[in-house]
Amino acid sequence: MSSIKISGLNKYYGALHVLRSLDLTIGAGEGVVLLGANGCGKSTLMKCLNGLERPQSGTISIDDKDVTSAKGKQLRSIRRDVGVVFQQFNLVENLSVFQNVLYGAMGQRPGGLLTVWNSLAPNTTREKAMHCLERVRMADKAGYRCRDLSGGQQQRVAIARMLMQNPKVILADEPVASLDPKAGREVMDLLWEVVTEHKMTVFCSLHQLDLAKNYADRIVGMKAGRIVLDTQQVNADNESLAELYQGDTRVDSASNGYGLPGVGTGMQEEPA
């Protein structure tokens, strides 16, 4: 059984061909790191996997459920099994650590019912939230507002929120890109410990080679919208990894078939 199966995936933003015929299968319980330079399409791929963006062609299934055609109730049901961790944490900064973790049990985005939920949440749910906070060593900060925490602490809270949801598959999009190297390693250690404990499947984008080598079972490399490398971590050689960052790495560079770099995409990232 495969946890994630992508086939013939193409995604365009206007004229910009971002994901270029991707095929990828990730088995249940595998820990796969996605490497690639800025602008090669990693986040777009993650968003397609989560149903936040629709590809123009191709299919994606998660646990044999078709993400690309799912809508409404079906899509929400798939998303309940998919935990996400973002570069920018995506916590509600004004709410407490504890409240943010309770959200994980709601299986949806925070809404108007939040305060009601917070006071009505069953004891078992509240206990589970505390347990998740203990797991990430943040129980002593349960009452803190998220905006008063360091980046590394916020990402640990985001991991607790993800655990609360009890997902089978984790998508992490550059979860340590906003952290200093020490906090980044702590967060990666913790993330990998919890996914291993719970036998979750993890697909995690990074742009640090050294981290990829420390944690991944398997490394998938993207360059300019294509998968150009797929290897067991132990077989990954420095040369082919370094190659991911050389030459035309971005999908929006002229030589990658995009006529006017930076025009018409609506947004630009800083070059690597």
Ligand X SMILES: Nc1ncnc2c1ncn2[C@@H]1O[C@H](COP(=O)(O)OP(=O)(O)O)[C@@H](O)[C@H]1O
Binding site for ligand X (CB under 6 A): 13, 16, 18, 36, 38-44, 250-252, 265-269
The three-state DSSP-derived secondary structure of the chain is: CEEEEEEEEEEEECCEEEEEEEEEEEECCCEEEEECCCCCCHHHHHHHHCCCCCCCEEEEEECCEECCCCCHHHHHHHHHCEEEEECCCCCCCCCEHHHHHHHCCCCCCCCCCHHHHHHHCCHHHHHHHHHHHHHCCCHHHCCCEHHHCCHHHHHHHHHHHHHHHCCCEEEEECCCCCCCHHHHHHHHHHHHHHHHHCCCEEEEEECCHHHHHHHCCEEEEEECCEEEEEEEHHHCCHHHHHHCCCCCCCCCCHHHCCCCCCCCCCCCCCCC
36 binds, options ligand X, Mg ion, none, Cβ within 5 to 8 A by partner type: ligand X
Between 20 and 161, CB nearer to ligand X: 20
17 binds, options ligand X, Mg ion, none, Cβ within 5 to 8 A by partner type: none
The partner residues of 170 in beta bridges, in order of sequence, read 83, 202
Between 42 and 185, CB nearer to Mg ion: 42
**Binding site residues, Mg ion, CB under 5 A:** 42-43
Minimum distance of ligand X from residue 30's CB (angstroms) = 21
Between 159 and 172, CB nearer to Mg ion: 172
| Angle subtended by helix axes 123-135 and 151-165, to nearest 10 | 130
Between 44 and 155, CB nearer to ligand X: 44
Between 63 and 243, CB nearer to ligand X: 243
Minimum distance of Mg ion from residue 118's CB (angstroms) = 32
Between 107 and 151, CB nearer to Mg ion: 151
